[in-house]
A = this chain, B = another copy of it.
Amino acid sequence: MLRRIGTTHVVSPLSSFFSSVASARRLQMTAVSASQAREHADAPEAVEMNFLQAINSALDLALSRDEKTVVFGEDVAFGGVFRCTLNLSKKYGSQRVFDSPLSEQGLVGFAIGMASAGWKPIAEVQFADYIFPAFDQIVNEAAKMRFRSGGHFHCGGLVIRSPSSAVGHGGLYHSQSVEGFFNHCAGIKIVMPSTPSDAKGLLLQCVEEEDPCIFFEPKRLYRSMVEPVDPGYYTIPLGKGKILCEGRDVTIVTYGAQVGVAMKAAERAAQEGISVELIDLRSLKPWDREMVTQSVRKTGRVIVTHEAPKTSGIGSEIVSCITQDCFLSLEAPPMRVCCLDTPHPLNERLYLPNELKVCEAIKYITGY
C-alpha cells in the first residue's frame, strides 16, 4: 500500500529528525524576538512541548472534559502515525479512542452521524491529501446540515483534524495544503496554526465550536517546533489573527508552516532597513479581515504567502478583499507568493515559496 510506505518514509530517517531539531532551535529563537508575547506561552507552569505533544495535550483535555468526546480515525488507537493520539486509548478506553476502517468518506460520514446525535467526534484524516474522498460528506452534508434543516439538526460538534503541508519528501500525496478548496464552501470553519501553543488553544476551541471545523496541522512542525505551552485548559477564539512583529513598510499575511519562512524573510529584510509587519492568520475561515485591513492601511503594501498553489488559493480571496477595503491606501499591487500551479513534486526546493522568494517579493513591492 503506497500510503503505508509514504507513512514510514515521513517519520524517518533520524538524520532529518536531528537536522530539523537544530532548525527548530533557530526558529524558536526568532519567534522569541516577536514584539507581541504569545498567549499562554508565559504561563507560570509552562511546559516545553513540540507540536504533536500540544495536540496530544489538547485531545487529552477534550476527552477528560466531556464524556461525549471521542477520537477516531485510521491507526489512532496505537498513538497515530504522527503520535498525536499516544496513550489516549489506554487512558480513556477503546470505546472513546478507536480505529476506523480505511475509508475517509465513511469516517467523516460516521462523524457527522455522531455529531448530529449530540456527540463531539474528533475525526482524524491521516493526511490532508486524503480528505478528498470525504469532500462530498464535508461540502454537501456537514456544511449544509443546519441550514437545510432550518436549525432542526446540526453537526456542530464535528472536528476533522488532519496533517497538512510539505514535509520535505512527501511527493504528491503527503504534502498538499488543501484549505483553498474548502474556503469556497459556506458552513464550515478552517484553522491552521503555526505554533504548539496556538495549536492547542485553537483545537480546544474547535471542539467547543457549534459548527463543523477542519483543523489542519503542518506536519513538518510536529517535532521541529518546540516552545513552552500551558499544560492546562485554554482556548483561542477563531477568527483572530496574531501580529508576530510590527512594521511600517509592508504587511505579510500568512499562516501554518509558512509563518516560519516569512519570519526569516522579514529578518533578512530588516537587515536592509525594511520594516515588515507579519500577521499569522491562524484561523482561515473566518479570517481576521479587520486586522489585515488595519495593517495594510498603515503600511500601504501587502504580500500574502502560503504553501498551497497560487490560483484560487486562499491568497486570492485575501487579496481581493484587501483591494476592496484598502484601495485608497495601496501603494503597490498586492502580491502573492505561493507554490506553483502544479501538483506537489518530489523535489520541492524550487516549488515551495521559500525565504528567498518572499525576500524578493519584499524588495520588489517596497521598490515599486
CB distance from A208 to the nearest CB of B (A): 23
Contact of A317 among B181, B311, B323 (CB under 8 A): B311
Residues A143 and B324 in contact in the complex (CB < 8 Å), given A132-B136, A180-B184, A308-B184: no
Contact of A312 among B132, B139, B314 (CB under 8 A): B314
| A323 partner residues in chain B, CB cutoff 8 A | 319-320, 323, 333-334
A184, B312: Cβ atoms closer than 8 Å: yes
| Binding-face segment, A229-237, A245-253, A336-344 | A336-344
* Copy total for this chain: 2
A184, B181: Cβ atoms closer than 8 Å: yes
Q: Indicate the size class of the contact surface on chain A.
A: 35 or more
Complex alpha-carbon distance, A140 and B2, angstroms: 14
Asked if A186 CB lies within 8 Å of chain B CBs, one says: yes
Chain A residues numbered 118-177 whose CB sits less than 8 Å from any CB in chain B: 129-130, 132-133, 135-136, 139-140, 143-144, 147-148, 172-173
B140, A173: Cβ atoms closer than 8 Å: yes
Asked if A313 CB lies within 8 Å of chain B CBs, one says: yes
A140 nearest in chain B by CB position: B132
A146 nearest in chain B by CB position: B343
| A135 partner residues in chain B, CB cutoff 8 A | 132-133, 135-136
CB distance from A105 to the nearest CB of B (A): 8
Asked if A335 CB lies within 8 Å of chain B CBs, one says: yes
A345 nearest in chain B by CB position: B147
A327, B332: Cβ atoms closer than 8 Å: yes
Residues A320 and B334 in contact in the complex (CB < 8 Å), given A184-B312, A311-B183: yes
Complex alpha-carbon distance, A311 and B188, angstroms: 13
A133 nearest in chain B by CB position: B136
Asked if A309 CB lies within 8 Å of chain B CBs, one says: yes
| A241 partner residues in chain B, CB cutoff 8 A | none
A333, B327: Cβ atoms closer than 8 Å: yes
